[in-house]
Amino acid sequence: MSALSPNDTEAKPVASPLAAAPAKAAALIEANGLTRRFGGLTAVDAVDLAAAEGEFVSVIGPNGAGKTTLFNLITGLDRPDAGRVLYAAEDITAMPPKALAARRMARTFQHGRVFANLSVIDNVLIGAHARLSAARPRLGALAELALAAWRPAALRREEEALRREATDILRIFGERLLPRLDHPAHSLSYANRRRVEIARALALSPRLLLLDEPTAGMNPTETREMLEIIRDLKGRGLTILLIEHKLDMVMELSDRIIVMDNGRVIAQGKPAEVRHDPQVIEAYLGRAHRSAETEATAGGKRAGAAP
């Protein structure tokens, strides 16, 4: 904890000098040569990635391409074997997730990780944890305990303000979650749990938001709705990294797309460029095509050989 506190004090003044920096160097998040090996498998292989402030960058690629591992490396849940990550011109490679939350980096998880026995509103409020004045790491743990028991007026006001803010965040999903503020998250539909997760990420008031398949398991209407919400977030100037399999959504939203396969970046560029990149087509269609064919023929042979 003590090792962290100097970093936490540095976190705040970072925002202002960045605004004055030249556009080229203004990458809010930048990964260089990021590599992660699991035994013999290189899940992420020397990946470079950058997103400028306000930019919307999508990471696409077949299952197992290393997208989620890349997210885990950026968000501090996993450590790279090589390479580094810069965030707002600061090296964050070895930082634990809580230091990144203090720097307002928020993420959602591929399979959804809502807190099942917490109410909807509490789930969202956990997102604001890094902003609580009582939970500041510099304030000792015992002081936090005393504050939680005593609850001075300032603390109560802060909690109420956060509660209102959390309700406002949930309002972006219309009436889907507002009537369920006090329901435990385990009672929600799958799509609603994904929404709660996004609301929780927004409660951090993030500078950088990483969305890992936010529409997985959603039907077309719900996907459309989610697309509009993400578009709206983009419109507010949030820097967003998105992992998504629904390509029309990716094409519609992204400023830039990074295509991964087998842990490596095989293409990147504007949606229109990536769409026609032969390597991308091969990764997505060609190989799938081919493997489907070979499987079919193999199956055919087997079927033929059986009698």
Partner 1 sequence: MPGALLDYTVNGLIVGNIYMLLAVGLALIFGVSHLINFAHGSVYAVGAFIGWSAIHYLSTPLPATMLLVMVGCAVIGLAIERLGLRPLQNAPRIAPLLATIGISLVLDQLLQLVFGADPRSLPSQLPNWRIHLGGGTIGALDLLIFGIGVASAALLFGFLRFTKLGWAVRATALDRDAAKQVGVNVDAVNQLVFAIASALGGLSGLLVGMYYNTIDAGMGFQATLKGVVALLIGGMGNVPGAVVGSLLLGLIESYGIALFGTTYRNLFAFALLLIFLVFRPNGLFSNNRRPPPEPLTGTFVPPTSPVALPAWALAALAVAALALPLVIRNAYALQVLTNAWLYGILAVGLTLISGTVGLISLGHAGLLAIGGYASALLALDLGLPVAASVPLAGLVAALLGTALAFPAFRLRGHYVSIATLGMGEVVALVILNWESLTRGPLGVSGIPPLEIAGQPIYSPQGQYWLALIVMLLLAALQSRLLSSHLGRTWRAIREDDVAARSYGISLNRYKALAFGFGAFLAGVAGALTAHVYSYINFETFDSTLSILALTMVILGGMGNVIGAVFAAIALIALPEIFRGAADYRMLIYGVVLLLLIRFRPQGLMGTV
The binding track of 196-235 with respect to partner 1, each residue x by CB under 8 A or -, is: ----x---x-------------------------------
The binding track of 129-168 with respect to partner 1, each residue x by CB under 8 A or -, is: xx-x-xx-x---x--xx--xx-x-------x---------
Q: Under 8 Å CB-to-CB from 281, ≥6 apart: which residues? A: none
The neighbouring-strand residues paired with 56 are 240
Amino acid at position 288, single letter: A
Q: Which is nearer to partner 1, 36 or 246 (CB)?
A: 36
Q: How far is the CB of 141 from partner 1 (least distance, A)?
A: 5
Q: What gap in Å lies between CA 94 and CA 72, rounded to an integer?
A: 12
Q: Which residues of 217-233 are buried (b: 16+ CB within 10 A; e: fewer)?
A: ebeeebbebbbebbeeb
The binding track of 83-112 with respect to partner 1, each residue x by CB under 8 A or -, is: -------------xxx-xxx---xx-x---
For 174, counting Cβ atoms within 10 Å of its Cβ (0-12 exposed, 13-18 middle, 19+ buried), the class is exposed
Q: Which is nearer to partner 1, 76 or 263 (CB)?
A: 76
- Residue 169 near partner 1 by CB under 8 A: no
Q: How far is the CB of 218 from partner 1 (least distance, A)?
A: 20
Restricting to residues 22-81, name those near partner 1 by CB under 8 A: 75, 77
The binding track of 5-24 with respect to partner 1, each residue x by CB under 8 A or -, is: --------------------
Q: What sign for the dihedral angle of Cα 193, 92, 34, 205?
A: positive
Q: What gap in Å lies between CA 268 and CA 277, rounded to an integer?
A: 9
Residue pair 76/106 in contact (Cβ under 8 Å)? The answer is: no
Query: CA dihedral in degrees (42, 208, 157, 118; nearest 10)?
Result: -40
Selected from 12, 113, 224, 301, the binder of partner 1 by CB under 8 A is 113
Q: Which is nearer to partner 1, 98 or 245 (CB)?
A: 98
Q: Which is nearer to partner 1, 125 or 280 (CB)?
A: 125
Q: How far is the CB of 134 from partner 1 (least distance, A)?
A: 6
Q: How far is the CB of 103 from partner 1 (least distance, A)?
A: 10
Q: What gap in Å lies between CA 244 and CA 148, rounded to an integer?
A: 40
Classify strands 90-91 and 82-87 as parallel, antiparallel or unpaired.
Answer: antiparallel
Q: How far is the CB of 27 from partner 1 (least distance, A)?
A: 22
Distances from the Cα of 45 to the Cα of 48, 70, 211, 213, angstroms: 9, 10, 21, 21
| Residues contributing to the site for partner 1 (CB under 8 A) | 1, 75, 77, 96-98, 100-102, 106-107, 109, 113-118, 122, 125-127, 129-130, 132, 134-135, 137, 141, 144-145, 148-149, 151, 159, 184, 186-187, 200, 204
